[in-house]
Structure 1
């Protein structure tokens, strides 16, 4: 395969990308390359934007498409969402195949929108560990078209749920890739601190990554992030550790935050912000002014701390919408974080590409460069700025040199005199 006249993300001019045996053989400037006797498929992109596949760093595939059963989350709060899920587990006798079918539907949505790498949290506060068993099978079944990382996520707490710590370790032995925790949901601050320490100890023991649902609350006194960062720093595994949500940081006072940022930089941990989900969930206990409920994305990026964006949910008890489109997440996130300066806009796709790849610890094999796997997507635009402004379709999603998704954009005809 050869892609002619590609506009590579973040670079000037147009380029030709030659693919051989599923890998990127050559990348040359269009003006310096001749087709010669090239006998493989040739696609002239006419300046369309090419970039690495999108990375979804935070989704809950075992929860997708369950909103409204057994009831809707009327308050829109995180805590009612958890309660709805607990009730659902009692009344819905779901099979492993049910979970797999819902997860596969969501993965197809994500694939359509240019995603080829997904980290999903899987609830392990269930003695049967059915969700994990289902997602382990899904991971194997989709590996030809999607990379899937599984987080062993104790939704109802490592210590708040009976034998939650034992289930967490069992999940890691079964094959989960990442250790999860939710310290702000534990019964006491002491239990929350201990849950973080337990998660990182298990990660160190089993050679796993860590992804903590951390301080997803508007309480300015919820400060488990400092515990995550400090423990990661002490163990020397910060680049393998992620703090997701951290919405309480939006309520911290600046004096404390100044001190905290020094630790965050030292620790080298990653951050996942979930703009759409947390705009929906947070600020529910405020009157006015009503908090945005998003972590300090702009300040973290300015401090060279890795941050990426994720969707979090597709129609579940915590978020009633969602279709797997990360471009929409970026657009909403830029507004919510006051990141609508030109430079913020033209580099915004980093939040769902390279930054996400770093969070998933896959940056060594990720990106459009010679020798890498021929995994990339093509957007229907020739400009990074227009990609954010116009939300273009993903024309092609290519994996190992094969087109796995192709989209033909709709055509609009204006039937009025001035446009005829």
Structure 2
């Protein structure tokens, strides 16, 4: 099978991509536009891109907004209260139905890898059990990582540490935490040490909800980065949200960034969520409350973007479109120069793959033929158009396809691979 007249990121010429046995067998530059032949797909100059990745979402909570009550204030902490009301209603069928619906929504928008958090401050651990089972069932269709996440605090919730270990025994891929939500700073710091110890004991990755607050004195990020540095674990460690960084002064940040860069940790920002949850105590001037995405990128620190929530107690909107999330980030973080646009897709593709430690990701000879077809010829045009993902292919098989007029099949029954 061949894709012809394809664009690749950061390359001006047209390409032909040959797929054999579910892998990229050849990637060759074309000498001009090729005519359609049997068994080929004319991509019409659209961008063939590595699949989108959703590195931060809560599938166990998705599609629960208003159940049993709406978050009327729209705040982070009322969201946690509303979720505490919803947790007793959880069961396997409930979580499975909502998670599958949300995964399908993401797949329809070009996502082929997901990292989901699952609440461990629930004695039944039903979210962890159900999502780990779904991960195993769907492994041929999507890459799914499950984070054991102590929503109410690993040390502040009764038996929270034992529940975390049980979640890891069940099979969670990533150790999570929420140090700023622990009762005291001492408990927050202790939780980080325990997170790192558990990650080493069980050979797991780390992803911490870190300083998701406006408080400029919430500085667990430096503690996490220092532990990651001293334990030589930086590439396996992720700090999510870090919204307090938007309230740090520049003198402190100049010192902090040296540690962050040396530690090698990854960052995930969720701009659509943070822009409405943070800054709630401000009148005017009013903080944006999103971490320093632009500065992290300029410092060559790995940062990627996630949606965090889709129709849940914390965020009652959401449509599964990472291009929308990227658009928000560029506006909110004032990354509006052409060079920002030119590499924008990194934050929902390559950077996320690095954060999740995905192997054999990207459009290269020998890699699995996993890709999406986007409406545009480069990052800038795709971003500006905000069009639908035209096609998603995994291991050489079509898993989603839209049919604009300019996409022409010679043989409609032909399947990739």
TM over 0.5: yes
- CA-CA distance at 1:260 after TM superposition: 0.5
| Cα contact 1:75–1:284 (8 A) shared by 2 | no
CA distance in structure 2 between the aligned counterparts of 1:410 and 1:103, rounded to whole angstroms = 33
CA distance in structure 2 between the aligned counterparts of 1:293 and 1:33, rounded to whole angstroms = 47
Q: Which runs of 4+ in 1 moved over 2 A?
A: 31-36, 408-411
1:372 is matched with: 367
- CA-CA distance at 1:32 after TM superposition: 8.9
CA distance in structure 2 between the aligned counterparts of 1:89 and 1:97, rounded to whole angstroms = 14
2:59 is matched with: 61
- Superposition TM-score, scaled by structure 2 size: 0.95
CA distance in structure 2 between the aligned counterparts of 1:384 and 1:236, rounded to whole angstroms = 34
* Higher relative contact order (Cα pairs below 8 Å, separated by 6+ residues): 2
CA distance in structure 1 between the aligned counterparts of 2:171 and 2:194, rounded to whole angstroms = 18
Q: 2:83 aligns with which of 82, 85, 98?
A: 85
State the SS of the aligned residue for 2:246: helix
Q: Deviations over 1:113-137 (max 9, x none)?
A: 1000100000011111101111012
Q: Which moved more, 1:269-278 or 1:143-152?
A: 143-152
2:162 is matched with: 166
- CA-CA distance at 1:19 after TM superposition: 0.3
1:226 is matched with: 222
Q: Deviations over 1:279-336 (max 9, x none)?
A: 1111111111111110001111111100000000000000010011100000010000
State the SS of the aligned residue for 1:255: helix
CA distance in structure 2 between the aligned counterparts of 1:33 and 1:67, rounded to whole angstroms = 49
Q: Which runs of 5+ in 1 are unaligned?
A: 412-420
CA distance in structure 2 between the aligned counterparts of 1:101 and 1:256, rounded to whole angstroms = 46
1:133-212 superposed matches below 5 A: 133-212=129-208
| Structural RMSD (CA) | 1.7
1:417 is matched with: none
1:331 is matched with: 327
CA distance in structure 1 between the aligned counterparts of 2:223 and 2:163, rounded to whole angstroms = 23
- CA-CA distance at 1:145 after TM superposition: 1.7
Aligned length in residues: 406
2:414 is matched with: none
Identify if the C-alpha distance between structure 1 residues 98 and 23 changes in structure 2 by more than 3 Å, giving closer, same or farther.
same
Q: Which runs of 5+ in 2 are unaligned?
A: 407-417
State the SS of the aligned residue for 1:365: coil
1:277-292 superposed matches below 5 A: 277-292=273-288
CA distance in structure 1 between the aligned counterparts of 2:140 and 2:93, rounded to whole angstroms = 20
Identify if the C-alpha distance between structure 1 residues 160 and 306 changes in structure 2 by more than 3 Å, giving closer, same or farther.
same
| Cα contact 1:157–1:185 (8 A) shared by 2 | yes
CA distance in structure 1 between the aligned counterparts of 2:212 and 2:34, rounded to whole angstroms = 54
- Superposition TM-score, scaled by structure 1 size: 0.94
2:70 is matched with: 72
Q: Which moved more, 1:380-389 or 1:265-274?
A: 380-389
1:10 is matched with: 10
1:406 and 2:401 aligned: yes
| Cα contact 1:67–1:315 (8 A) shared by 2 | yes
Q: 2:95 aligns with which of 75, 99, 115?
A: 99
